[in-house]
Structure 1
Amino acid sequence: MITVLSNSTISATIKHLGAELISLKNTFNKEYIWEGNPFFWGKHSPVLFPIVGALQNDTYSYKDKEYSLSRHGFARDMEFKLVSSSSESAIFSIESNLKTLEVYPFQFEFQIIYTLTASKIKIAYKVINRNDSELFFSVGAHPAIALSENFENYAIAFEKPEILNHYLLENNLISNKTKQIDVTTNPLDLNYELFKNDALIFKQLASKSITILEDERPYVKVIYNDFPSLGIWTVHKAPFICIEPWLGYADTINNSGQLDKKEGIIKLNSRATFLAQFSIEIL
């Protein structure tokens, strides 16, 4: 099933499986979300919950019990319920069940809220703790922006001056090693060589927005005030770039394996609610 939102400027299509944004178009029918061709990558804009990235050996422990959880968690593979909708907004929800409790021992509700405003789509993540104790989670976005021209025709402009030190991955885990991108000017010109070792992972950036430039002209802006970490990723020769706001990230190589001590994890108090949002703006 799908839900379509539209206003006078843009339209969005959300697939109920994973509550995934699969299309974002302007009034000229230009597509801004990657088509999901599995030859390169068969997703469009999956949500990452209740973890971001990989766990060491795909396992973690909580209260002396070990659990198995695959990369990026289970929400992207679950059918979401449409709670409410209008022409310009929709709320999708999943709740804990017997299957999720086998791999994630928390009672929760997780909502994804889409809202269109002018040429911008706002995407909010709401986590509701149904437990009488703390809940631990990470959440992140993985939108792939479609690029219709040669990859080298695009650049990324950071909101603020940055020293672009990114963390290197070792077996899908975050190592202690960093690498500085040799760039003397903002924006950063895109090329596939930047991603030869997988994603660029920034635990912290001064910038809270990134603008993708096409032939030096503003193309798409991603605004992520509520998210401290960011991933940027593509596949060799693929016509897309992922700008990924994160709250949390993959295990570090020296991680203890305990969920409540995981670097970047969010602790949500009993019966509390957490909300964070980002937006994608067509320019």
Structure 2
Amino acid sequence: MIFTVTLKNDKLTVEINTKGAELNSIKVNGENRLWSGDPEYWTGKAPVLFPICGGLPDDKFTYNGAEYILNKHGFAKLKEFTVEHKNDLTATFLLKSDDETLKSYPWSFELRITYALRGAAVKVTYDVKNTSADAMYMSIGSHEAYACPEGIEDYDIIFEKKENLNSCDLDGNLIAHSTTPVLKESDTLPLYYKYFAVDALVFKDLKSRSATLRNRKTGKALTVSFEGCDYLLLWTKPGAGYICIEPWTGIPPMVGSGYDITEKEGITAVEPDKSSTVSHTIYF
């Protein structure tokens, strides 16, 4: 049965759904700073991307000579997690492989997602344990959508360091063999809907390990730190009142790449009975 878990301290109230272990709301002094999921634009709020981030060529990959169909962003966002642990400040959600996941992903695993309140911050930790007999190949990423009720063009993304950023162009669900320059020797990227007319901004060469979303008129801000994630995406739909700040450990293949998952850029190999752990933190 799908239900909602609530965490609360004197600064934050956080709700997480057992479906997908997805954040449902983050309230700061009673104000929800996550996107509402308005179906006119996008019903998602903060899906967890596992065991891939983005898409695959023809939605498939090969491993050991066998072919598997795996849809964009994987299946974790659609699965019901169990609540393994909970108190007022932390909750851990568990997803284990099952007969259904093994049809599209030939490894057994345990995925634990822990949400922890630390003052005015939410730390999100992904721990993936390989319970298979062979090395497991995976990526994981976040997709939180932060509310921008005035529209995103009142906002800047401010990086930890000055950046020279080229966004990887997209061809459908894959990375194209071209880039578009969006930032030169600056730490501040003003947001415009024109950036998202096709899809997302995809950054592979980021030096920063944190990014701040700030309303340039009011000064209201939040910061996402993402140690351990080599890729960062920004995404919205034209006219929508949200921006997604998405730290990923993996990235879609380039157009023309093969199907072998072991050769995929950004893939993480986890040895049997070992775990891969990565986290990001949202500061308000």
Task: State the TM-score bracket (shorter-chain normalisation).
Answer: over 0.9
Q: Deviations over 1:231-251 (max 9, x none)?
A: 100000000000000000112
Match of 1:21 among 20, 23, 32: 23
What whole-Å deviation, never above 9, does each CA across 1:83-139 have from its counterpart, x for those lacking one? 010000000011011111011000100011000000000000000010121000010
Find out whether 1:138 has 2:139 as its counterpart: yes
| Worse overlay, 159-168 or 195-204 | 195-204
Q: Amino acid of the residue matched to residue 37 of structure 2? A: G
Provide the residue aligned with 1:50 in structure 2.
Answer: 51
Kindly indicate whether the alpha-carbon contact (under 8 Å) linking 2:126 and 2:279 is maintained by their aligned counterparts in 1: yes
Counterpart in the other structure of 1:191: 192
1:204 Cα deviation from its structure 2 partner: 2.6
Number of matched residues?
281
What is the correspondence of 1:214-225 to structure 2 with a 5 Å cutoff? 214-215=215-216, 217-225=219-227
Matched, 1:209 2:210: yes
Q: What secondary structure, in the 3-state scheme, does the structure 2 residue paired with 1:35 have?
A: coil
CA deviation profile, 1:244-267 (whole Å, cap 9, x unmatched)? 000001121121100111111000
2:241 paired residue number:
239
Q: How does 1:123-134 map to 2 (within 5 A)?
A: 123-134=124-135
Deviation of the 1:151 alpha carbon = 2.3
* RMSD of aligned residue pairs (Cα, Å): 1.1
Deviates more, 1:187-196 or 1:77-86: 187-196
Distance 1:149 1:78 in 2: 33
Determine if the alignment matches structure 1 residue 169 to structure 2 residue 170: yes
The separation in 2 between residues aligned to 1:86 and 1:184, in whole angstroms, is 45
Alignment partners' CA distance in 2, 1:273 and 1:74: 19
Contact 2:23–2:46 (CA<8 Å) still a contact in 1?
A: yes
Distance in 2 separating the partners of 1:192 and 1:141: 21
Residue in structure 2 matched with residue 262 of structure 1 by the alignment: 264
Quote the Cα distance in structure 2 between the aligned partners of 1:182 and 1:66: 40
Spell out the pairing of 1:88-99 with structure 2 (5 A cutoff).
88-99=89-100
TM-score, normalization by structure 1: 0.97
Whole-angstrom CA distance in 1 between matches of 2:166 and 2:220: 24
What SS is found at the alignment partner of 1:167?
A: strand
SS of equivalent to 1:162: strand
CA contact (8 A) 2:226 2:281 kept: yes
* Bigger shift: residues 144-153 or 234-243: 144-153
Q: Indicate if the aligned counterparts of 1:211 and 1:218 stay in contact, CA closer than 8 A.
A: no
Counterpart position of 1:148: 149
